[in-house]
A = this chain, B = another copy of it.
Amino acid sequence: MTERTLQQLKTAETEKISHLDYFNIGISVDCVILGYDEKELKVLLIKSDMQEFSGLYSLLGDFIKPDEDLEAASYRVLKERTGLDDVFLEQVKAFGNITRHPSGRVITIAYYSLIDVRNHKLQLDLNELHWHPVNEIKKLAFDHKQILDTCLGRLRQQVMEHPVIFNLLPEKFSLRELQKLYQAILGVELDRRNFRKKISIKDWLLDIDEMEVNVPHRPGKLYTLKKQYRNKAAKNVVLQMA
Contacts and interface: CB of A to CB of B under 8 A. Distances in A.
Interface of A: 1-6, 8-10, 12-13, 21-28, 30, 46-50, 58-70, 91, 93-98, 101, 103-109, 141-142, 149-150, 153-154, 157, 238, 241-242
A62 B23 contact: no
Contact of A2 (B21, B58, B96, B150): B58
A58 B1 contact: yes
B62 A6 contact: no
Contact of A64 (B25, B49, B101): B25
Nearest to A61: B1
A25 B28 contact: no
A70 B58 contact: no
Contacts of A68: 98
Nearest to A142: B1
Contacts of A149: 242
Given A2-B58, A46-B3, A241 B157 contact: yes
B94 A3 contact: no
Contact of A94 (B25, B26, B70): B70
A100 to B, nearest CB: 9
Q: What are the 6 tightest A-B residue pairs by CB atom distance, in nearest-first order?
A: A70-B96, A153-B242, A5-B62, A94-B94, A94-B109, A23-B23
Nearest to A3: B49
Contact of A103 (B9, B23, B64): B9
Nearest to A157: B241
Nearest to A141: B1
Contact of A105 (B1, B48, B66, B141): B66
Given A13-B104, A103-B6, A149-B242, A98 B1 contact: no
Given A9-B26, A27-B27, 18 more contacts: A2-B48, A2-B58, A2-B59, A2-B60, A2-B62, A3-B46, A5-B28, A5-B61, A6-B50, A8-B63, A9-B106, A64-B107, A69-B97, A70-B96, A107-B109, A149-B242, A150-B241, A153-B242
